A and B are shown apart, each in its own frame.
Chain A
């Protein structure tokens, strides 16, 4: 058991190393050289560096050393938590990300809680009424919902609920230049702004959890102990949620952690629809202004988060299901 766990962890470390290596080599594989031109606006005289200047800058950035030395110094920098310095924002990458990440984390967690709970309830009801009208209607609805891309759902909500009906703000994470009279006011404003992004992300993920819960529940409902429960005369709700769901939960719990990668992808799209100040929006801004160090920092962070969540899913699965070992 312990040995398998160690093997699993070393597998994840391998993956992490591959990602870091990719992150290191991508800018070095890029066509072009940052020191070829000093400035070359269109229609103007092209200013180039002299040989000595190029040599000086290469030495300054450590680019004159052999690639292996660069690689080890890159990794040792990472281990010390130094992801780099953003040229555009003029700040450490870790500080910039630190300011923005809580917005993303809070909407992602809220969305995952809402979509998994709603998905479980709807899926269980659907499985209980299998092949009934409710089941067929829900199934078709969820199948269609899970096909529509995240940003289209977001645009739909934005135009109907925010622009036409005016129930929610159009953009941002909180009111700009606002003076809040109390702490509760502030919280309310943040929740008000977060509502649509969270709703969109939840709707996007809902289909997946619904289908999973439905399938898992259907297989549990055919078990013998369910017949026993029904024969004992237990109520419908008690059978579904106490006896059925407890056994059907296993795949759902692990999926909660596994779907985090897809959720981060969805968050990038949704944050840009609603101009939400999270990491996804930051990533797009960074690409737009060609701040490559920041783009790589965000990518690394997302990759590490997703890897950790996968590892947790593995561990939890083993804990919850004693049959797996």
Chain B
């Protein structure tokens, strides 16, 4: 509860850009949660003739199969949000825990963790994601796991360096001398210290994950059963007449605008959060 209140206070400190970004993300979240109620048409079945221009019946037009694009974009918002939140939470929590262990215990654990992060940072992420996706199947769950596997290193490194300094603080040493165990220290003293810095990297991961999923889906290597924004674009670009007709005006512009809007909105939020966190330190 305390954190929520503090968070609300911080949002009030956002710039106009940050507040707009927050609003956009909330709208996309809303679209994602209520995607099946917001559109009268289904997202996976034809509901009109092919290539209808945007109008009163089909707000954003239809694609080559006559499927309503607004319904598809609403459903795509759900996929993006699941991927974004899933990856950010998994990588944020996992990375923070690994970082805390690595910084607190040091020694062999620390050495191993640092070597592994070195290796993962060097690996080119998109090719590796394609390889893993190709071998283990491109379901949403697998995509989240693979993305998290590649992203936990960022929070882990930040948390580790923070813990290295926090564990030398007098109050932590005092608590330890009173017999505080690892979990107690983590929850009482480490978490409040690392939360702001983790926040920034988790928001970054959120947007990175959405872009990565869109890229994979655009290549046709994502989950073929989940209509994400990238997959709509993949269908559109692979349609043969797309360059010579006017269909792209709604078929491509819609999902592209959705991705761009969401990604820039998150970037604005990230910048404001970063500013607030930096001013506190």
Contact = CB atoms under 8 A, between A and B. Distances in A.
Interface in B132-156: 132-136
A152 B256 CA distance: 7
A221 interface: no
Contact of A261 (B124, B136, B215, B233): B124
Contacts of B134: 287, 290, 292, 295
Given A19-B123, A261-B122, A163 B244 contact: yes
B127 A262 contact: no
Contacts of B128: 299, 303
B243 interface: yes
A265 B122 contact: no
A292 B136 CA distance: 12
A158 B115 CA distance: 42
B207 A159 contact: no
B142 to A, nearest CB: 12
B22 interface: no
**Interface size range of chain A in the complex:** 35 or more
A256 interface: no
A298 B130 CA distance: 11
**Interface size range of chain B in the complex:** 35 or more
Contacts of A306: 122-124
Contacts, number: 112
The interface centre, meaning the residue of B118, B220, B248, B256 with most chain A CB atoms within 10 A of its CB, is B256
B125 to A, nearest CB: 6
B237 interface: yes
Given A264-B124, A302-B124, A273 B237 contact: yes
Contact of B131 (A15, A26, A273): A26
B135 A288 contact: no
B49 interface: no
Interface in A282-316: 283-284, 287-288, 290, 292, 295-296, 298-299, 302-303, 306-307, 310
Interface string B208-221: 00010011001111
Interface of B: 115, 118-119, 122-128, 130-136, 207, 211, 214-215, 218-221, 233, 237, 243-244, 248, 252, 256, 259-260, 263-264, 267, 271
23 contacts: A15-B122, A26-B131, A29-B135, A30-B136, A147-B263, A151-B214, A152-B256, A155-B256, A159-B252, A162-B243, A163-B243, A262-B124, A264-B126, A268-B130, A269-B126, A273-B237, A284-B130, A284-B220, A284-B221, A295-B134, A299-B130, A306-B122, A310-B122
Interface of A: 11, 14-15, 18-19, 26-27, 29-30, 143-144, 147-152, 155-156, 158-159, 162-163, 170, 261-262, 264-266, 268-269, 272-273, 283-284, 287-288, 290, 292, 295-296, 298-299, 302-303, 306-307, 310
